[in-house]
């Protein structure tokens, strides 16, 4: 009897390019005696295969169960074919550039196999700083276009040597079609340039000299995977202090890199989940509690109970770690608030005043990508800054979306593109306060639109008329009148971003607490209780308005808003209060009171973020901050977790209007404690407890009126773990509460909310 055969065409979508999927398919098919081919298309992976029907069923089952660990299969479509082609072998064919949509793998940290080779003296890639394979190495940062093939990456200029070429074309080798494949002979190389003459330099190999310079206390600019890092010995007080004076000029914490988990455990408290995050193939910066009596310089993270720590994620990082290094500072290589530097010449131009030496390489970076920042909370990863390793992983929305651009906000900017049921969020762009950041936004948008074949027809933007993103959206429309622009309120976007990633469609009680967001009444919102869904929102409550003297200047000089709150709580009599804050600010107070009384350069605000600034300024004496959130962070860091007491507050009882939370009693309680000599750690804890109680009481009132029991927390204030803990505790089992996981709770997440809201608004107009 003739051996029956059948033929099937299989289309696999998801993250299946650049992750060793084709060699996996090849080896699987040949092991089962199947014939045909596999290829990459712009849409995913296409397999045409024929053979024994039972073996074909087994083949399809193994595609799902044994796929490479870095792949992420979204969908498998199988088409039955009646006619056989008579394939005589199974092969990997050239990619098919069909112009359709495909997902792209992010940059992946060095895998264990490559690390073993890197450290093995007998291996031909021993100590080669750019070793990689299909399971690791650069992806997003070097891709010029899709399909993901070497000619469409920045590795195109490096012609593989015979040994690398052999690996690249061998389907049984883990470097089969590893697009950045290279070695000492044919690949990228490092080069050292020493700027400073104050350090002793022996004429030796570049890497060893760089290590020696770091040991001497030098500051180095080191070209990495997604941009330059500025590095120095994190245990050397003088070096770290000098770096802070040169580069940061603020108290913002530096990230540090340690050689291994065991070393991190000597300086930080590492939970089991945090260890998993640190060791994952994405290698983000993980926020970890400091241990006492730390050997790390006090200048790394002043007034902060946490270090941001990561493990080496490239071969070059691994090689830099001489056994004598416990930790190295690895902070973004940029000038203040500018994007991370990626080009060698640009590095010399911009970083020469900071760096004593440069460690360059000649593999070009196409897309700049900062390090991601995450933390573990209640056993789950929470993303604070979504960038290297996470981008361009899409957010699965479970709803079909038109092609939309959500432009994001002004600070901590990201943008979002939607296609099908995916949201593709950009990497962290940063604060759009200068030309360089704006150009970074534009170049990233151009790249992601091209890579994902997205051409937005709808542009969502913030309500604030002066945000660059708002002006950009309107400018796009002037060049293309068919575009639809949709303004979206900032805090509504916050809530919907959290709803979207948690796949919630029905109405929720949304609590959006942050520093700044333009309200529908022209005031600056930030302490908001919304009844919200994707279509719209109702403002159910908010913190009582106070005047913000000096507008944005009050964000940098929190004493201004503190004086305004005290004036609001006591009238002019507050000037007689015998507390250090008043005594040091009496002269300034006269000017601020005139501004308030005459409404000069003032705006109303309900911001919870500004309330944190107020309390920190009053009890900690912080008049000026050196980075956004500094005052609030210090307030959180000093809070005594054992304290359960709280302050008073008052809710308005006006029907048919938003509940107004009057915090004047709270401010008076804080002042009374100061007058009575209560410790600042206790005051901070009582303040946090009060805010959690306010949230719980307002939610209960809204639930009584509406029956809604789902609560969504979003906004930068909920990066505060003390506040988040107490809030979740007060809400308890009475509410089903949702918080962010994969999308930042700060303004880095609002572009997602903007896109989803815009989609619903357009649907409503069309229907």
What tens digit of pLDDT does each residue of 473-531 get? 999 999 999 999 999 999 999 999 999 999 999 999 999 999 999 999 999 999 999 99
pLDDT at 673 over 50: yes
Write out pLDDT tens, residues 362-393.
999 999 999 999 999 999 999 999 999 999 98
For residue 477, what are its two tokens? 């429309």
Alpha carbon separation from 530 to 507, 717, 760, 761 (Å, rounded): 10, 16, 17, 18
Place of tokens 């074919």: 81
In 21-89, beta strands by DSSP E: 35-41, 44-51, 72-81
pLDDT at 8 over 70: yes
State how far the Cα of 600 lies from the Cα of 673, in Å rounded to an integer.
32
State how far the Cα of 428 lies from the Cα of 372, in Å rounded to an integer.
8
Let me know if domain 190-361 sits in CATH 3.90.870.40. Answer: yes
Write out pLDDT tens, residues 603-643.
999 999 999 999 999 999 999 999 999 999 999 999 999 99
Which pTM was predicted? 0.93
Write out pLDDT tens, residues 545-566.
999 999 889 999 999 999 999 9
384: exposed, middle or buried (Cβ count in 10 Å: 0-12, 13-18, 19+): buried
Mean pLDDT over residues 54-65, rounded? 92
Phi, psi (rounded to 5 degrees) for 744: -60, 140
The DSSP annotation for 472-509 comes to HHHHHHHH-TT-EEEEE-HHHHHHHHHHHHTT--S-EE
Rg (CA), the chain: 28
Mean pLDDT over residues 250-262, rounded? 95
Mean pLDDT computed over every residue of the chain: 93
For residue 590, which of 614, 615, 572 has the smallest C-alpha distance?
572
CA 46 to chain CA mean position, Å: 33
CATH architecture, domain defined by 394-502+750-766: 2-Layer Sandwich (3.30)
Higher pLDDT, 41 or 114: 114
Helices (H), strands (E): how many in the chain?
22, 29
Q: What is the pLDDT, as a whole number, of residue 678?
A: 98
pLDDT at 63 over 80: yes
SS3 674: helix
pLDDT-wise least confident of 46-60, 196-210, 750-764: 196-210
State how far the Cα of 417 lies from the Cα of 325, in Å rounded to an integer.
42
CATH of 6-92, one of 3.40.47.10, 3.40.50.970, 3.30.70.100, 3.40.630.10: 3.30.70.100
Q: Where does the pLDDT of residue 1 fall: very low under 50, low under 70, confident under 90, or very high at 90 and above?
A: very low
Residues 6+ apart with CB under 8 A from 194: 201, 209, 213, 356, 357
Q: What is the pLDDT, as a whole number, of residue 337?
A: 78
CA 200 to chain CA mean position, Å: 39
11: exposed, middle or buried (Cβ count in 10 Å: 0-12, 13-18, 19+): middle
Q: Could you tell me the fold of the domain covering 519-528+539-696?
A: Nucleotidyltransferase; domain 5 (3.30.420)
For residue 547, which of 572, 522, 565 has the smallest C-alpha distance?
565
Peptide bond into 147 cis (omega under 30): yes
Mean pLDDT over residues 418-447, rounded? 94
Percent of the chain with pLDDT strictly greater than 90: 83
Q: Which of 147-161, 186-200, 221-235 ranks highest by mean pLDDT?
A: 221-235
Q: What is the pLDDT, as a whole number, of residue 101?
A: 64
Mean pLDDT over residues 698-718, rounded? 97
Do 6-92 and 190-361 show the same overall fold? no
State how far the Cα of 252 lies from the Cα of 630, in Å rounded to an integer.
8
Q: Count CB neighbours of 33 within 10 A.
A: 11
Q: Where does the pLDDT of residue 654 fall: very low under 50, low under 70, confident under 90, or very high at 90 and above?
A: low
Mean pLDDT over residues 349-362, rounded? 95
pLDDT at 467 over 70: yes
For residue 126, what are its two tokens? 């021993």
State how far the Cα of 44 lies from the Cα of 29, in Å rounded to an integer.
18
For residue 389, what are its two tokens? 């390793």
Phi, psi (rounded to 5 degrees) for 2: -65, 145
Q: What is the pLDDT, as a whole number, of residue 94?
A: 79
pLDDT at 760 over 60: yes
pLDDT at 204 over 80: no
Mean pLDDT over residues 646-652, rounded? 95
CB 230 within 8 A of CB 354: yes
pLDDT at 22 over 70: yes
pLDDT-wise least confident of 60-74, 391-405, 675-689: 60-74
Q: What is the pLDDT, as a whole number, of residue 285?
A: 98
pLDDT-wise least confident of 99-113, 399-413, 463-477, 670-684: 99-113
pLDDT at 442 over 80: yes
pLDDT at 99 over 60: no
Alpha-carbon dihedral of residues 20, 21, 23, 29, nearest 10 degrees? Answer: 160
Q: What is the pLDDT, as a whole number, of residue 19?
A: 80
Peptide bond into 643 cis (omega under 30): no
SS3 65: helix
Find the helix or strand (DSSP H, E) in which 9 lies: strand 6-15
Write out pLDDT tens, residues 571-607.
999 999 999 999 999 989 999 999 999 999 999 999 9
Which residue ranges make up each domain of the chain? 6-92, 190-361, 394-502+750-766, 519-528+539-696
């Amino acid at each position: 009897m003739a051996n029956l055969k059948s033929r099937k065409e299989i289309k696999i979508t998801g993250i299946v390019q650049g992750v060793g999927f084709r060699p996996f398919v090849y080896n699987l098919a040949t092991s089962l005696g199947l014939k045909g081919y596999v290829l990459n298309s712009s849409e995913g992976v296409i397999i045409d295969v024929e053979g024994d029907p039972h073996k074909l069923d087994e083949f399809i089952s193994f595609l799902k169960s044994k796929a490479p660990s870095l792949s992420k299969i979204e969908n498998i479509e199988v088409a039955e074919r009646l006619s056989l082609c008579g394939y005589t072998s199974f092969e990997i064919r050239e990619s098919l550039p069909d112009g359709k949509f495909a997902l792209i793998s992010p940059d992946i940290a060095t895998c264990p196999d490559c690390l073993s080779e890197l450290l093995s003296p007998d291996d031909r890639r021993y100590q080669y700083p750019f070793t990689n394979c299909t399971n690791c190495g650069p992806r997003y940062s070097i891709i010029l276009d899709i399909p993901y093939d070497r000619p469409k990456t920045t590795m195109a200029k490096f012609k593989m040597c015979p040994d690398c070429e052999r690996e690249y074309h061998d389907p049984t080798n883990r470097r089969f079609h590893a697009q950045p494949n290279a070695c000492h002979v044919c690949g990228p190389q490092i080069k050292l340039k020493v700027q400073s003459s104050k350090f002793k330099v022996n004429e030796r190999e570049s890497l060893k000299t760089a290590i020696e310079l770091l040991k001497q206390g030098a500051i180095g600019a080191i070209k990495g995977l997604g941009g330059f890092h500025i590095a120095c010995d994190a245990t050397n007080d003088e070096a770290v202090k000098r770096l802070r004076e040169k580069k940061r000029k603020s108290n913002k914490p530096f990230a540090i890199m340690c050689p291994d988990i065991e070393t991190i455990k000597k300086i930080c408290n590492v939970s089991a989940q945090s260890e998993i995050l640190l060791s994952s193939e994405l290698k983000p910066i993980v926020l970890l509690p400091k241990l006492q009596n730390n050997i790390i310089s006090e200048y790394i993270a002043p007034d902060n109970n946490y270090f941001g720590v990561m493990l080496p994620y490239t071969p070059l990082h691994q090689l830099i770690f001489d056994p004598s290094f416990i930790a190295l500072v690895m902070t973004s290589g940029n000038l203040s608030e500018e994007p991370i530097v990626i080009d060698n010449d640009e590095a010399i131009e911009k970083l020469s005043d900071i760096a004593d030496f440069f460690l360059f390489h000649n593999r070009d970076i196409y897309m700049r990508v900062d390090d991601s920042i995450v933390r573990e909370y209640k056993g789950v990863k929470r993303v604070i800054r979504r960038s290297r390793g996470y981008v361009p992983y899409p957010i699965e929305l479970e709803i079909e979306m038109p092609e939309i651009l959500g432009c994001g906000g002004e600070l901590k900017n990201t943008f979002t593109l939607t296609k099908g049921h995916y949201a593709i969020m950009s990497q962290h762009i940063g604060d759009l306060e200068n030309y360089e950041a704006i150009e970074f936004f534009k170049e990233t948008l151009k790249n992601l639109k091209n890579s994902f074949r997205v051409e937005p027809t709808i542009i969502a933007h913030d309500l604030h008329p002066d945000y660059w993103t708002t002006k950009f959206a309107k400018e796009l429309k002037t060049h293309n009148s068919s575009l639809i622009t949709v303004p979206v309120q900032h805090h509504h976007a916050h809530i919907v971003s959290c709803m979207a990633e948690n796949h919630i469609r029905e109405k929720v009680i949304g609590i959006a607490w942050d520093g700044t967001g333009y309200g529908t009444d022209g005031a600056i919102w930030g302490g908001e209780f919304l009844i919200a869904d994707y279509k719209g929102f109702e403002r159910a409550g908010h913190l009582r308005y106070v005047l913000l003297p000096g507008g944005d200047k009050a964000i940098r000089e929190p004493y201004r808003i503190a004086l305004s709150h005290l004036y609001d709580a006591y009238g002019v009599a507050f000037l007689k209060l015998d507390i250090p804050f008043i005594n040091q600010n009496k002269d300034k107070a006269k000017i601020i009171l005139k501004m308030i009384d005459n409404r000069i350069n003032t705006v109303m605000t309900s911001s919870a973020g500004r309330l944190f600034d107020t309390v920190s300024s009053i009890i900690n004496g912080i008049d000026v901050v050196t980075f956004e959130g500094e005052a609030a962070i210090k307030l959180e860091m000093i809070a005594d977790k054992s304290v359960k007491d709280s302050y008073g507050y008052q809710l308005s009882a006006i029907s048919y209007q938003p509940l107004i939370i009057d915090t004047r009693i709270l401010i008076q309680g804080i002042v009374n404690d100061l007058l009575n000599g209560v410790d600042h750690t206790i005051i901070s804890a009582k303040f946090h407890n009060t805010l959690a109680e306010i949230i719980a009481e307002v939610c209960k009132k809204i639930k009584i009126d509406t029956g809604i029991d789902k609560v969504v927390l979003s906004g930068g204030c909920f990066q505060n773990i003390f506040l988040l803990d107490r809030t979740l505790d007060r809400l308890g089992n009475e509410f089903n509460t949702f918080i962010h996981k994969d999308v930042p709770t700060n303004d880095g997440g609002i572009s997602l909310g903007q896109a989803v809201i815009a989609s619903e608004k357009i649907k409503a107009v069309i229907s």
